[in-house]
Each structure stands twice: as structure tokens, then as C-alpha cells.
Amino acid sequence: MKKLTTSGLRHIALNVKNLEECVKFYTEILNMRVEWQPDNDNYYLTSGNDNLALHRADRNFIADKHQHLDHLGFILQSPEAVDDWYQLFLEQQIAIKAKPKTHRDGARSFYATDPDGNLLQMIYHPPLASA
């Protein structure tokens, strides 16, 4: 059987109840830009090498009954950048779920949530930081 490879995870789509707040969070806090907005219910954001689709969730959307996403990981370029982002999130009163921690593999990260409650990991991971 032929072994196939991908270019990595570069696209994530989220159903969000608070679409406008999430767009503001990802553009103003994480400095992503709107790449395309086909209508008032869909935004496609990028930081230059990825694509995050935010779709307005149906009003009957119940997170416990629909597909869950564990977390989104944003790659940072250094361990110090993790601490810088942590301070920014504190200043912006963004909900922190776990303080910065250095992991056994040399990675460093912390967890927070976006306005819709999606868990984010801001992570320096040596093999990915230079990619």
C-alpha cells in the first residue's frame, strides 16, 4: 500500500454561537486577518499559512450534542513568546484555563478560551516553530 503524506493541519472550521465576538477575538487579539467573507454567517481567517473558518452556529446548536473540538493550537516561535501571549491574554481579560508550563519534550504552552468557549493552546513546540 502506498504511503501518503499531507502538508500538515492548515485548516480548521468551527461552528460558533458568538460569531462577531469570535471574529473580533481572532483578528484583534491573535492578529489574524479576514481572508474571505462570503456572507454574514461565514468568515475565513488566516495568519498567512493557515485557514480558520468561523461559521455561525444554528440557533439550535447545543455543544453537548454536536461535534466537539478539543482545542486549537497556535504555534509560537519561542518559549518567551508563550509568556508574552500569556501576559497579553491576562491584560485583555481572556479566560485562562492553564498557566504556562514547560513540557518534557521542550515545548512550552498555556491554555485559554475564545469568546465562544473553544479551548486554545498557545504553544512553542521546537519542531514546528521553525517550520
Output the nine-digit C-alpha cell for 53. Answer: 473558518
Quick one: pLDDT at residue 108? Answer: 95
Quick one: pLDDT at residue 68? Answer: 57
CA 54 to chain centre: 11
Quick one: pLDDT at residue 65? Answer: 62
Mean pLDDT by 10 residues, the chain (131 residues): 72 90 97 95 93 87 64 91 94 96 92 92 84 62
Quick one: pLDDT at residue 80? Answer: 95
- pTM of the complete model: 0.78
11-59+70-129 classified as CATH 3.10.180.10:
yes
Which residues, in sequence order, are CB contacts of 44 under 8 Å at separation 6+?
Answer: 34, 35, 36, 37, 38, 51, 52, 53, 54
Output the nine-digit C-alpha cell for 6. Answer: 499531507
